[in-house]
Structure 1
Amino acid sequence: MSVQLALSAALSGLRTTQQQAALASHNIANATTAGYVRRDLALSASFTGGQGSGVKVDAIARKVDELLIRDARHETSRYTGQEARASALADYALVLGQPQDERSVSTLLSKLQQAFSRLHDMPNDDAAQNAVVAQASSLVQGLNSAAEAARTVQTDARNRLQNSVDTVNGSLQRIGELNGAIASLDAKGGDTGDLRDERDRLLDTVSEEIGIRTYSRDDGQVVVMTRNGQTLLDGQLAPGKTPLTIVGNDLMANGASLSANPETDIQTGRIMGYVQTATQDMPRAMAQLDQLAAGIVQRFQNAEADPTKPGLFTDAGAAYTTTAGLASRIAVDASVKTESWRVQSGVQAIARLPAGDQTQIETFSAVFTATGTFTATDMPASATLGGYATAMVSVQQGYRTTAESEMNARKISADTLQSARVNRDGVNIDDEMQKLLLIEQSYGASAQVVQVAGRMIDILLQIKG
């Protein structure tokens, strides 16, 4: 090898180690930056006239495991979707209570039955009559509160759904801009690592909100689709373009509905959790409550002399009309609140029954032991009011515990894959520090070659002189 080739090789080594040191330092500086992917130099040998003349940098390599990223995003998306739903069910279940809780409608209904039982023993006792009215009012308040809680959770889910849709649309708009920048820079042979890191962070954000599939085109641009195949982004978005929109109560992806079957059309992500809460979980909870309220209103109305007129419980002061929304409208008849003797003689009674007459009280008490039919989802088809109320509270708590159990399982899986992703693609400071030591040694070796070559040139010049 000539002295010139030796110098060329050594100088290329110095330049390369300089770049390696700068890149290792950049990696270390970004070790705690979320979404940063470790960089390496892609090197190859250079040749001049068939002889090795050193080393050259081909590119700055940003190596990621696309399959691992895909799996990590999917599991995180499954977790966030279940978390959103479990949180909503927990909020509702907290108000509804456990079957044995004082505030639960099943306990309140049982206390009303007990109040009638005590009144049966003391039909003309004012305190016993007032206790029945108080327990009836507490039951109504419990039903009203549960219905209000279900509506609040549903409204909150819809508001959060809008926020998630806005987050997805904003992220996709920026991803489209990055698509264009990456394609342009790739064509010029530039380093797109930082742009790709930002794009991956945004894709992570999108996948937390809605389940997605992605694939990359040859020019570096990424295509984003929902898991059922609806395209959300292909290239770039026109200014103001919003792939996801909410029309009424329907979530649309570029004009196609996703709300009808969220488990198949959306599949994962917070958006699925919010859609399920708003369109399935809370409507089901309200329907169950309404059926209980309807059973209470109708049975006590039928216990009166004229079953077409209001009884102890009313539909906003009137006789029963329709089940939908009744848990919010159910009320204690106003006359009972001022004339408590009516719980002994009948709400429609013109005058008090004789002292000690238990006839009407027995009719009222029979309401609690009679079996009726129900049609609400996941509820018994035939049950007493108390049996139905206890089953309803238990079923709702079951929804919550099942959702929380699945959420916890998804979290473990998501955390495991995310840790594997960080370990695979992230920065290990110890490894980078070891690389710096090797780079230092390589730099020193190249510098020595330059020194030796310099002395050889000095000797040659002396000889020629």
Structure 2
Amino acid sequence: MSIASAFNFAISGLTASSRKAEVVSSNIANAMTEGYARRELSIASQTLGGTGGGVRILGVNRIVNQVVQQDLLLMDSAAANTTAKADFYNRLETQIGDPETAGSLSATMSDFESALLTAASMPDSTARLTTAVRAASTVADKLNSISEDLQAARLTADKSIAKQVRTLNETLVQLQEMNRTITTQISIGNDAAGLMDERQSLVNQIAEIVPLRVVQRENNQIALFTTGGAILLDGSAATIGFDGAGVMAPHLTLDSGALSGLTINGYPTSTKDDGPLGGGTLGAAFAVRDELAPEAQSQLDAFARDLMTRFEDPSVDTTLSAGDPGLFTDAGSAFDASTEVGLAGRIRMNAIVDPEQGGSSWHLRDGLMAAAPGAVSDGTILNALSAALTRESAPASGNYGSALRSASGLAAELLSFASSGRQSAELTQGYATARHEALTEMSLADGVDTDYEMQSLLVIEKAYAANAKVVQTIDAMLQELLDI
């Protein structure tokens, strides 16, 4: 071996050791950096003229477990999706309220029943009649409040959809440009590992919005597909279209055309949670806006209908005629089955019995359509109103089944509907969260191990010292030859 060859070997070894030290230092420095993938220097023996020529650097590799990373992206979406649904049902359950808590729907119904019984026991008491009127008004106010909150949840979901679509579009354009930049940097011999980390962070940002599958393409580019089959990025970025609503009401629906759906590159696509863009927070937001909240509104409206019709029966209040509004009204009118949607938000106490609306509480005792007060000792109608409230009957609408229930029993069933939805969502959420945590641990295990990196640094130090010693020896040999 010539001195020149030995010198070249040593120099290449020094270069490789120096570069390795740089990579290891980067790993240690970024051990706590989220999204950072551990680096390894790839080297190979170099051949010059058929003989060994030292070592050459092939490049810097990002060490990523693609299987774990892909599963983690899917669990990001699943966990976020189930959390959003559980939050909705928890919000609904809180609005309906625990039966033991004052102000809950069941509690207000119980107070109303008690107030009617108390008024019937002493029908000549104006104070007791007024208390019963106030209790009835509180029930109507509670239904209004729950309905308003359901529409607020729908509007919040609609705004969330608009925000998520905006994030999707902006991030997909960034990923498209990042793909091009990475390809360019690698083609001119630069290290693009940092850019790949940044690209992965962008992918992670939208993984909760829609469940993603990442496909590696040539020249270190990536393509993004949803598990529902939508192409988000493959060379060029897709454009997702959506128009947010400024207001929300029970009658505004996707099917009626009053609310916006989704488009991909101008073509309409399903908004179902099992559709092309479902499975993440975007699908959950559509589910809340178009399915979960409307279903809850339907159940609430069915309860309001049952409550109204119990008191519109002329056999309960003999002063009423067919078509007259009873104790509860639809914004002043009698119940109309064709306008049931949103009824819970419009239900009101009949102004005839409400002193605050210019009415008189004695109408509760003597009949809504009575022209003048009757015998103050006559509690017949009050007893009939109380019996109507506790009478068990099957609700005419809603998904309550055919079982017979009192008004309070139906309120308990409404709470059960919300509780069952929450428990089901939380069960799914728990499974998704557990898997997400397990995959996160596996992903972290593939990250930077500082103990291992420090051991590698010691090995690199020895290799650098050995190559430096070769250079020193060659220098000494040359000095001896020059001195001869």
The reply to whether TM is greater than 0.5 is yes
Does the CA contact (< 8 Å) of 1:12 and 1:54 recur in 2? yes
| 2:473 aligns with one of 433, 452, 456 | 452
- Which runs of structure 2 are paired with 1:116-265 in the superposition (5 Å)? 116-237=116-237, 242-246=239-243, 248-265=259-276
Distance 1:380 1:149 in 2: 28
Q: Which residue of 1 aligns with 2:353?
A: 336
Q: Which residue of 2 aligns with 1:285?
A: 296
Segments of 5+ residues of structure 1 without an aligned counterpart are none
- 251-260 or 303-312: which moved more? 251-260
Q: Please, what TM-score do these two structures have when normalized by structure 1? A: 0.93
Residues 188 and 421 from structure 1, CA distance in 2 versus in 1: closer, same or farther, beyond 3 angstroms?
A: same
- 133-142 or 401-410: which moved more? 401-410
- Which runs of structure 2 are paired with 1:276-355 in the superposition (5 Å)? 276-302=287-313, 303-304=316-317, 305-321=320-336, 322-338=339-355, 339-355=360-376
1:82 alignment partner AA: T
Distance 1:180 1:113 in 2: 71
Q: How many residues get paired?
A: 459
2:225 alignment partner AA: M
Q: Which residue of 2 aligns with 1:401?
A: 423
- 119-128 or 10-19: which moved more? 119-128
Does the CA contact (< 8 Å) of 2:242 and 2:260 recur in 1? no
1:442 alignment partner AA: A
Distance 1:307 1:99 in 2: 35
- 218-227 or 257-266: which moved more? 257-266
| CA RMSD between the two structures | 1.9
Distance 2:190 2:417 in 1: 59
Question: Deviation of residue 260 (structure 1)?
Answer: 4.5
Distance 1:20 1:370 in 2: 80
Residues 255 and 360 from structure 1, CA distance in 2 versus in 1: closer, same or farther, beyond 3 angstroms?
A: same
Q: Which residue of 2 aligns with 1:83?
A: 83
1:350 alignment partner AA: A
Residues 160 and 205 from structure 1, CA distance in 2 versus in 1: closer, same or farther, beyond 3 angstroms?
A: same
Distance 1:55 1:412 in 2: 46
Residues 340 and 166 from structure 1, CA distance in 2 versus in 1: closer, same or farther, beyond 3 angstroms?
A: same
CA offsets, 1:55-108, max 9 Å, x none?
Answer: 110111112221111101101110111112222222222221123332222221
- 155-164 or 21-30: which moved more? 21-30
Does the CA contact (< 8 Å) of 2:272 and 2:286 recur in 1? no
| 2:445 aligns with one of 405, 418, 423 | 423
Distance 2:74 2:241 in 1: 19
Distance 2:405 2:278 in 1: 35
CA offsets, 1:27-80, max 9 Å, x none?
Answer: 222222221111111011112333323211011111222111110110111011
Distance 1:381 1:174 in 2: 56
Question: Deviation of residue 254 (structure 1)?
Answer: 2.9
Question: Deviation of residue 181 (structure 1)?
Answer: 1.4
1:281 alignment partner AA: L
Does the CA contact (< 8 Å) of 1:262 and 1:272 recur in 2? yes
CA offsets, 1:275-312, max 9 Å, x none?
Answer: 11111111111111111111111221113321311111
| Secondary structure in structure 2 of the residue aligned to 1:88 | helix
Does the CA contact (< 8 Å) of 1:165 and 1:244 recur in 2? yes
Question: Deviation of residue 351 (structure 1)?
Answer: 2.2
Distance 1:272 1:31 in 2: 34
Distance 2:103 2:402 in 1: 22
Does the CA contact (< 8 Å) of 1:180 and 1:236 recur in 2? no
1:417 alignment partner AA: L
Does the CA contact (< 8 Å) of 1:246 and 1:252 recur in 2? no
1:243 alignment partner AA: I
- 68-77 or 191-200: which moved more? 191-200
1:318 alignment partner AA: S
Question: Deviation of residue 428 (structure 1)?
Answer: 2.1
- 164-173 or 212-221: which moved more? 212-221
Question: Deviation of residue 380 (structure 1)?
Answer: 5.4
CA offsets, 1:314-342, max 9 Å, x none?
Answer: 11112222211111111111121121111
Question: Deviation of residue 377 (structure 1)?
Answer: 3.1
Residues 283 and 381 from structure 1, CA distance in 2 versus in 1: closer, same or farther, beyond 3 angstroms?
A: farther
Distance 1:378 1:28 in 2: 61
Residues 385 and 256 from structure 1, CA distance in 2 versus in 1: closer, same or farther, beyond 3 angstroms?
A: farther
Q: Please, what TM-score do these two structures have when normalized by structure 2? A: 0.90
Question: Deviation of residue 261 (structure 1)?
Answer: 2.4
Residues 378 and 126 from structure 1, CA distance in 2 versus in 1: closer, same or farther, beyond 3 angstroms?
A: closer
Q: Which residue of 1 aligns with 2:63?
A: 63
| 1:385 aligns with one of 379, 399, 407 | 407
| 2:277 aligns with one of 231, 249, 266 | 266
Residues 257 and 83 from structure 1, CA distance in 2 versus in 1: closer, same or farther, beyond 3 angstroms?
A: farther
Does the CA contact (< 8 Å) of 2:271 and 2:277 recur in 1? no
Does the CA contact (< 8 Å) of 1:80 and 1:269 recur in 2? yes
| Secondary structure in structure 2 of the residue aligned to 1:26 | helix
Residue 397 (structure 2) pairs with residue 375 (structure 1): yes
Residues 258 and 80 from structure 1, CA distance in 2 versus in 1: closer, same or farther, beyond 3 angstroms?
A: farther
Segments of 5+ residues of structure 2 without an aligned counterpart are 245-258
1:250 alignment partner AA: G
Question: Deviation of residue 229 (structure 1)?
Answer: 0.7
- 272-281 or 82-91: which moved more? 82-91
Distance 1:378 1:264 in 2: 29
Distance 2:460 2:270 in 1: 56
1:423 alignment partner AA: A
